Amino acid sequence: MTWHYQLCMKRYPPVASDGEDYEEYAIKEAYCDEEGMVFSLTEKPIEIRGDSTEDILWVLKQIQRDIGKYDILDEDTYEFAPSPGDEKEK
């Protein structure tokens, strides 16, 4: 199992009279199976914390790298892979 930072998008019903869906983007941790398919996301977006400025800059660089590497994940339409261990024994 591996993980990476994932830029996610979620749609919400219209909040204004224009009738347009509201889209929100957030960074979450995505957990992947051996084939690299996402099977789980953190429920809440990540918080950027560290013990030093260097720690924060390192995390920001990792986030930027992963945003460039992985497509935006649409939480409303993405078909998640089964969680490891969820396969029923035959």
Interior angle at CA 29, CA 24 and CA 30, nearest 5: 100
* Contact (CB, 8 A) for 48 and 59: yes
pTM, 2 dp: 0.80
The pLDDT, as a whole number, for residue 5 is 97
Residues 44, 75 contacting (CB under 8 angstroms): no
pLDDT tens digits along 56-89: 999 999 999 999 999 999 998 888 877 776 654 4
Instruction: Give pLDDT, residue 17.
Output: 72
Please tell me the predicted confidence (pLDDT) of residue 88: 47
Residue ranges of the alpha helices (H) in the chain? Answer: 53-69
Is 44 exposed, middle or buried, given 0-12, 13-18 or 19+ CB atoms closer than 10 A?
Answer: exposed
What residue spans define the domains of the chain? 2-14+21-74
pLDDT in tens, 2-49: 999 999 999 888 876 777 888 999 999 999 988 888 988 998 999 999
d(CA 16, CA 14): 6
